[in-house]
Amino acid sequence: MIIGKTIEEINVGDKDFTEKTITETDVYLYAGITGDFNPAHINQAYAEGTMFKGRIAHGMLTAGLISQVLGMKLPGPGTIYLSQELKFQRPVRIGDTIHAEVEVEEVIKEKNRVVLKTTCKNQNDEVVLDGKAVVLAPKN
């Protein structure tokens, strides 16, 4: 079994990331899984009439990339999500490449908790999402 970093292996300033180009398929699959068929995401004609002038990806689809980093990289497998604060800064469009990064801000050894800054940027280095996560680190 693969286990991520334990609380003893995590330090303030540790970082990791993932990158993904958001596709039309991603948006439709996310809509199907969640039942969120908001026309801003799936109906081009409707979306052209919105403030975004076209379809945008679900905000939580972008936030899911943060979950990937936490669950698979830092701290990694065995991590338990406790909370997440999110602030959506810009829309994510189909075709955008998102760089999702987490950075350790605080390690609370006595509670086995890690506080991380969470940020997603697009291919233009513009922040599209930022926030803070609290997780339980994996145990051996």
Q: Are strands 80-88 and 15-21 parallel, antiparallel or unpaired?
A: unpaired
Residue pair 112/7 in contact (Cβ under 8 Å)? The answer is: yes
Q: pLDDT tens digits for 57-114? A: 999 999 999 999 999 999 999 999 999 999 999 999 999 999 999 999 999 999 999 9
> pLDDT tens-digit profile of 34-57?
999 999 999 999 999 999 999 999
Q: How many Å apart are CA 140 and CA 127, to the nearest integer?
A: 35
Q: Give the type of residue at 79.
A: T
The pTM of this model reads 0.93
Nearest Cα neighbor of 92 from 66, 63, 58 is 58
Which residue ranges make up each domain of the chain? 7-136
The CATH fold of domain 7-136: Thiol Ester Dehydrase; Chain A (3.10.129)
Instruction: Output the six-digit token pair for 36.
Output: 């969120």
Beta carbons within 10 angstroms of residue 23's beta carbon = 12
Quick one: CA dihedral 108, 114, 115, 117, positive or negative?
Answer: positive
